[in-house]
Structure 1
Amino acid sequence: MLLLSEQNDNGVLRLTLNDSSRRNALSEQMLDTLQTTLEAAASNPEVRVIVLAATGPAFCAGHDLKEITQARQHDDAGRAFFTRLMGHCATVMQAIVNHPKPVIAEVTGIATAAGCQLVASCDLAYAGPEARFATPGVHIGLFCSTPMVAMSRNVSNKAAMEMLLTGDMLSAEEAMQHGLINRVIAAEELTAYTMEMAAKIASKSSMTLATGKKAFYAQREMPLAEAYAYTSEIMVENMLKQDAKEGINAFVEKRTPHWQDQ
């Protein structure tokens, strides 16, 4: 099974990439499986937060280079396959960003090329001290142009360009300093910490989380005045929701709110 799925009572769906023999590469089949699973989770009210983890020594090594090499044998030298693969990968990355539920990456081992893109596309990311990150396409004559989209939206321009131009591997600490991941956690504590953070987020109103996540990614692409106009409107609509009324009343009355997720 390429993707292991487990959901707990807190509403946390844990998805584990499980193709360690191929270093959890984003093959066509893996992308298909991820997309289908993410789509199902989006409409499942029992899922409140998603954790994306992996088995084996690699979180995700990017695209399957053997699959890419095989496609070169086609009459078009692989053009149709490459076009389909890049489009499919972009769809999955955008599905994570546009997903109504928060998505958290739990990274052990290496995350390279499209695997690094996968980490950057998640809303939060926690990593063990042995985790390593790189966009190493330049080593094989292939600039990591699509990973660059997610990378440049997470780290500074200079840091992103250094990774892209050199292909050098970053340590977990360096990745944290650059803003690619949130925190480095001791290996033996990583899963417990990630799941604790997921449970904390899952305890909030799912309506509020979905509203805020969508607004966050929308406003950051806008000019300042447009961003304030947009988020002001979002705040007004949010204030009129049942959970906002309940949350404010609970705060004033010094009690725990009871969310209806609406």
Structure 2
Amino acid sequence: MIFQRIDSAAARLMGLDGSDFREPAGEPAMLPADSVSWRVFRNPMTMYVGGIAAVLLELGEPRVRHGVWDHSSFKRDPATRMRRTARAAMITVYGARSQFEALTARVNRMHARVQGTTDDGRIYVADDPDLLLWVQATASWAFLEAYRRYAEPLGQADRDTFYAEAQPGAALYGVEAPPVSEAEMDALLARMRPQLEPSPAIEEFIAILRTADILPRALRPLQRLGAGAAIDLLPPAMRSQLGLTGYRFSRHERMLFALLARAAGRFELPSSPARQATARLAAVDRCGAVALATS
């Protein structure tokens, strides 16, 4: 019963209620099961924290911030918005290719309708290549950094491979030249840092993370812990640029979150997209075996 509750809570957090990664039987994902991305995206704790860190970096870029904050449901329904984003991340890695292609087509149509003007008078459109690049790259960076800090270390080759693996999926979102190595990602962060700025939206987002009905009541303390872990994940220069130096994440909190993340990596819940996707891929072998047996 307790295990079922945990599984249900995890599925709700990741926006997977009713999702089925087992279909269509045998259809491959964008990436193979032995990819670095499959390993990184498997950990729900680090994905949660990585998702928060990515949004913080997105909100720091004024044009992206207006596109996200003014044209989405983050303010009025943050839990649903975060679950929808988490589900999209899972489809990116574990969903059947046809499912992922349908998702990107839908998102691209939505982006085509989003436009506006920033507070300082700059016109923006959501499908601007530079803005698409920043959103895609910050997500890759944050998921990877959360995993390697809180779950397990990854060598240089695995880190470079992780970035390279994102390229085919990024192309379907209209991202023309995503970073394909850690060195390219570091260069992008250095180039973008002067453009980042603090904002009341960032403070409001952090407050939402700490108090909104995102997790079940019994797990609500994890929201505050997760927000602290995400802020702590950002490089000191980025935290300073975003006005987040006043937030403190103690050594004990860091150790506690790492223990939780490592524990989450030791077992896989029935609702895990990776587990369901593995069953989907295995289905083609079963179908093939049946065909041979009856021929």
TM-score by length of 2: 0.24
Q: Which has the higher helix share?
A: 2
Q: Which has the higher strand share?
A: 1
TM-score by length of 1: 0.26
